[in-house]
Amino acid sequence: MTGIWILGGGGHAKVALATLAADGKAIAGLYDDDPAKQGLRLLGHEIIGVTPPEDWWNSETRSAFIAIGSNKIRERVAARRANWAVARHPAAHVHASVALAAGTLVCAGVVIQPDTCLGAHAIANTACSIDHDCRIGDFAHIAPGAHLAGGVTVGARSFIGIGASIGPGVRIGDDVTVGAGAVVLRDIPHGETWVGVPARSTGNAG
């Protein structure tokens, strides 16, 4: 069957499906690891099984997309080889100089400014903005309505919460969680959780 295979059958998969459909991409079918979902339909597309068969992987022609919100689970699934698609909504503004690695999701209303790079399977969620010269790590997630000023670095698997703001040139480490609405004005080391205005460490791991 031609089209893009979707791995994931939850709410985030609905966003990925809507994004791909808006871009005119055909959907081949869905897999989800919850057996109870088998046979259900998501936005008109059937969840046909729990996991693809072994001979499904390692295909140079089969296109797939990981539609799972969890950064660590996306990373685990992506360890299997596949031809990972990019999902980019036509209502996003992405400058021509922006680099989108395999598996990235760019949702409706997103603005990404010049010379920014998004790593593999990163998520730029609904109506977030990422300004010039930012570096977004593999499997990172910029949540809806978050805003990154110019020159920001976000490490691998880090999560920037809904409505958070990151100041110019701030460096955020790997496996960091930034809480909803936080205002980050200082660099954040690997593995920390920061919340508040201005944002401060909670002392907990991300």
pLDDT score, position 60: 67
| Mean predicted confidence (pLDDT) in 123-143 | 99
Residues 170 and 60: their CA atoms lie apart, in Å, by 38
CATH number assigned to the domain comprising residue 99: 2.160.10.10
- If asked whether residues 52 and 117 sit together in one domain, one would say no
pLDDT score, position 38: 87
Give yes or no for a contact between 82 and 100, defined as CB atoms under 8 angstroms apart.
no
- If asked whether residues 175 and 148 sit together in one domain, one would say yes
| Mean predicted confidence (pLDDT) in 46-53 | 83
Partners of 62 in the β-ladder = none
- If asked whether residues 66 and 94 sit together in one domain, one would say no
pLDDT score, position 59: 67
- If asked whether residues 166 and 200 sit together in one domain, one would say yes
pLDDT score, position 179: 98
| Mean predicted confidence (pLDDT) in 5-18 | 95
- If asked whether residues 69 and 128 sit together in one domain, one would say no
pLDDT single digits (tens) 51-97: 777 767 766 677 999 999 999 999 999 998 788 999 999 999 999 99
pLDDT score, position 1: 56
- If asked whether residues 68 and 109 sit together in one domain, one would say no
* Three-class secondary structure assignment of 120-169: CCCEECCCCEECCCCEECCCCEECCCCEECCCCEECCCCEECCCCEECCC
| Parent domain of 60 | 4-84
pLDDT score, position 62: 78
Q: Which residue, 18, 50, 84, sits at the end of a domain?
A: 84
| Mean predicted confidence (pLDDT) in 176-204 | 96
Query: How high does pLDDT run on average in the chain?
Result: 94
- If asked whether residues 80 and 94 sit together in one domain, one would say no
Both tokens of 50, joined, read 């729990």
Q: Work out how many domains the chain is built from and give that number.
A: 2
204: pLDDT strictly greater than 90: no
- If asked whether residues 111 and 153 sit together in one domain, one would say yes
172: pLDDT strictly greater than 90: yes
pLDDT-derived band of residue 135, with 50, 70 and 90 as boundaries? Answer: very high
- If asked whether residues 105 and 192 sit together in one domain, one would say yes
CATH number assigned to the domain comprising residue 30: 3.40.50.20
- If asked whether residues 14 and 116 sit together in one domain, one would say no
